[in-house]
Amino acid sequence: MLIKGSNPALITPMRDGQVDEKAFLEFVDWQVKQGSHGLVPVGTTGESPTLSHAEHERVIALCIEANNGRVPVIAGTGSNNTQEAISLTQHAQSAGADVALLVMPYYNKPTPEGLYAHFRKIHDESDIPLIIYNIPGRSMVNMSVETMAELAELPRIVGVKDSTADLWRVSAQRHAMGPDFIQVSGEDATALALMAHGGHGCISVTANVAPALCSAFQEHCMAGDYASALAIQDKLYPLHEALFLEASPGPVKFAASVLGLCAGELRLPLVEPREETRAAVVAALEFAGLLDGAKQTAAAE
Which residue among the candidates 4, 106, 121, 133 is catalytic per the annotation?
Answer: 133
Kind and range of the H or E element at 74?
A: strand 74-76
120 vs 115, 146, 147, 150, 157, CA distance in Å?
A: 8, 15, 11, 10, 9
Which residue among the candidates 161, 235, 237, 295 is catalytic per the annotation?
Answer: 161
Respond yes or no: is residue 109 known to be catalytic: no
The percent helix, strand, coil of the chain (3-state, each to 5) is: 50, 15, 40
- Torsion angle (degrees, nearest 10) of CA 263, 215, 185, 137: -20
Respond yes or no: is residue 161 known to be catalytic: yes
100 vs 93, 180, 191, 240, CA distance in Å?
A: 8, 18, 21, 25
| Amino acid identity, position 54 | A
> CA quadruple 230, 231, 236, 238: dihedral positive or negative?
positive
The angle that helices 275-287 and 250-258 make with each other, rounded to 10 degrees, is: 60
277 close to 283: Cβ distance less than 8 angstroms:
no
Residues labelled catalytic: 133, 161
